């Protein structure tokens, strides 16, 4: 692991943000800087770290540094960055993010997710116990939901019913079984660590759903590394659904990435968020609704979408969710689907007009 240190001015404190070039993490970085923090983030290569730094405005760049952690599941992966930086807070977003297509689910997905999560908690305890006050971990609604036999209402008390054996089965019953299992068992391992070790720091987890919102400013052209959730919007505005809107299933719930980022920062800062789980979810959607928003809001894109009535495949009966804890404790006022989609489209169009700083 190679450290690329930068001199940082006085701030509200230093935050270690893992997985800094990820979609959600890039917005968390912006939010942390807006809130007055210095940030050291981890990336898998120097190329990614330099691309990230080049995307930050000159006046903010001295407040950001990066550390290269090529394998988050490796023993002692986090030791050096924690020893050197002694952060006040840690936000852990880094995790295997591919949802399907595993050859060996246990070795490629479940174990790295668990080892990375437990590894960073253990490393904090051993290397930065006196400095770190709160750890926030990015989890997923996959750790909450139990398809196909859904509960009527989901909240933070719910845990996915997927088992380890289901997660590693080949072939899987559902294509995303390994991903779902990795999210459940990684988060559970974090809470088990807290119970067993009673560290000095507190923990909060953010369980997020399909995440829309403005694209990262440092994507590799031509938008080939856009996040999976926004890919459907990119496909629509490029005419890839001109002959028909693709089915929405299996996920019909969304949240805006800016709300997710703010939830992480407030879960980090607020005393009452300590040792709590948060279901961060903004509402429901269908691909037909997204297409309608694009067609109504962007005249220049109408010919990229089907003409006439857009089919809405939102199911007649759909489970409900309770996101009241995130509203009450974190003060999140969720962005609606129209705002999220329009801002996402605008960011893609701007990106394609102006290109990328490399």
Question: For position 2, what pLDDT does the model report?
Answer: 42
DSSP 311-352: P----SS--EE--HHHHHHH---PPPHHHHHHHHHHHHHHHH
The residue range of the domain holding 192 is 3-213+255-282+316-333
Question: For position 4, what pLDDT does the model report?
Answer: 43
Q: What is the pTM of this model?
A: 0.94
Count of structural domains within the chain? 1
Predicted confidence pLDDT, tens digits, the chain (358 residues) = 444 444 345 679 999 999 999 999 999 999 999 999 999 999 999 999 999 998 898 889 999 999 999 988 888 999 999 999 999 999 999 886 677 778 899 999 999 999 999 999 999 999 999 999 999 999 999 999 999 889 999 999 999 999 999 999 998 998 899 999 999 999 999 999 999 999 999 999 999 999 999 998 777 666 778 998 999 999 999 999 999 999 999 999 999 999 999 999 999 999 999 999 999 999 999 999 999 999 999 999 999 999 888 988 999 889 999 999 999 999 999 999 999 999 999 999 998 887 644 4
Q: Is residue 93 included in any domain, yes or no?
A: yes
Q: Is residue 163 included in any domain, yes or no?
A: yes
Q: Is residue 105 included in any domain, yes or no?
A: yes
Angle at 7 between CA 6 and CA 10, to 5 degrees: 135
Q: Is residue 117 included in any domain, yes or no?
A: yes
Q: Is residue 349 included in any domain, yes or no?
A: no
Q: Is residue 344 included in any domain, yes or no?
A: no
Q: Is residue 43 included in any domain, yes or no?
A: yes
Q: In this structure, what CATH number is given to the domain that contains residue 50?
A: 3.40.50.720
């Amino acid at each position: 692991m190679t450290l690329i240190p930068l001199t940082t001015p006085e701030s509200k404190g230093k935050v270690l943000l893992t997985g800094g070039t990820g979609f959600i993490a890039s917005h968390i970085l912006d939010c942390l800087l807006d809130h007055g923090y210095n940030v050291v983030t981890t990336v898998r290569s120097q190329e990614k770290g330099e691309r990230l730094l080049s995307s930050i405005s000159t006046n903010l760049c001295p407040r950001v540094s990066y550390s290269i952690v090529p394998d988050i599941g490796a023993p002692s992966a986090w030791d050096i960055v924690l020893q050197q930086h002694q952060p006040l807070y840690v936000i852990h977003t880094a995790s295997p993010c591919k949802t399907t297509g595993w050859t060996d689910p246990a070795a490629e997905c479940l174990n790295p997710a668990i080892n990375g999560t437990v590894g960073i908690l253990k490393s904090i305890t051993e290397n930065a116990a006196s400095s770190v006050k709160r750890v926030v971990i990015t989890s997923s609604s996959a750790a909450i939901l139990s398809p196909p036999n859904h509960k009527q209402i989901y909240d933070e008390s719910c845990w996915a019913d997927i088992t380890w054996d289901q997660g590693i089965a080949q072939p899987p019953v559902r294509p995303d079984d390994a991903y779902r299992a990795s999210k459940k068992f990684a988060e559970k391992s974090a809470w088990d660590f807290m119970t067993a070790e009673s560290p000095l720091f507190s923990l909060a987890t953010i369980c997020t759903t399909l995440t829309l919102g403005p694209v990262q400013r440092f994507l590799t052209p031509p938008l080939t590394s856009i996040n999976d959730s926004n890919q459907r919007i990119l496909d629509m505005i490029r005419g890839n659904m001109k002959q028909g809107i693709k089915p929405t299933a299996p996920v019909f719930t969304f949240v805006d990435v800016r709300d997710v980022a703010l939830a992480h920062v407030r879960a980090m800062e607020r005393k009452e968020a300590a040792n709590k789980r948060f279901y961060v979810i903004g509402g429901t959607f269908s691909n037909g609704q997204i297409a309608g928003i694009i067609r109504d809001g962007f005249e220049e894109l109408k010919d990229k979408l089907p003409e006439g009535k857009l089919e809405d495949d939102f199911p007649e009966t759909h489970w409900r969710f309770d996101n009241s804890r995130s509203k009450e404790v974190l003060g999140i006022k969720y962005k609606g689907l129209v705002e999220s989609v329009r801002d996402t489209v605008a960011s893609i169009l701007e990106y394609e007009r102006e290109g990328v700083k490399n």
